[in-house]
Amino acid sequence: MTITELYLVRHGQAGDDGDLSALGREQADRAGRRLSAVAFDAIHHSATPRAAQTAEIIGRHVPAPGHVCDHMLDRTPYPSDRSGYPQGRHSWLDEVPVEERDPDAERLRAAVDHLGATGASDRRELLITHNFVIGWFVRHVMDAPEWRWMSLYQDNCALTVLRWAGGRPPAMISFNVALAGTS
């Protein structure tokens, strides 16, 4: 039985310009030091400045190849049928910028299918991404109703670990563990 472990880390705190703030750089450095003992096969990160900068800083401590990954982009699941979503969340969904909408979570579903797949050998990968992406992965692993991603909050540079083991349902190992004095 092969195992895939995904370590999901939300980017460090961003400033008004979208780059990491001084606190965000410190969070990323602390997270990198805490993760340095883990042998990762790859680091996947979003192209946004806050995620790319977080990956660069963490990568100073984690000797694994890193790259921009389309699956890690900042996306908001955007349902075409809202009947399963709480009524109070409908107006919030209307305000999601068009460029961030992922209709029916099609791309997030593809991300889970691709990154959560087990293969011929064990994998342990670090994903540096955004709050809603992590929420979607956790919602999937917990087999929760689709709207539950909206109620999951990941602190900056906190860690969530998910595991897929061939033939078994995926499992959450940890959720929102502070690595860097997140605040």
DSSP per residue, the chain: --EEEEEEEEPPPB-TTSSB-HHHHHHHHHHHHHHTTS--SEEEE-SSHHHHHHHHHHHTTS-S-EEE-GGGS--EEE-S--TTS-GGGHHHHHTS-GGGEEETTHHHHHHHHHHT---SS-EEEEEEE-HHHHHHHHHHHTT--GGGGGG----TTEEEEEEEETTS--EEEEEEEESS---
Residue 182 has pLDDT above 90, yes or no: no
Q: How confident is the model at residue 183 (pLDDT cuts 50, 70, 90)?
A: very low
Of 180 and 75, more confident: 75
Establish if 157 belongs to a structural domain.
yes
Which pLDDT does position 134 carry in this prediction?
98
Establish if 68 belongs to a structural domain.
yes
Q: Stretch 120-149: mean pLDDT, rounded? A: 97
pLDDT in tens, 105-124: 999 999 999 999 999 999 99
Establish if 183 belongs to a structural domain.
no
Residue 165 has pLDDT above 80, yes or no: yes
**Full domain range(s) for residue 170:** 3-81+88-104+114-178
Number of folded domains that form the chain: 1
Establish if 128 belongs to a structural domain.
yes
Which pLDDT does position 181 carry in this prediction?
59
Establish if 109 belongs to a structural domain.
no
Q: Stretch 144-161: mean pLDDT, rounded? A: 96
Q: Stretch 60-69: mean pLDDT, rounded? A: 96
| CATH code of the domain in which 7 resides | 3.40.50.1240
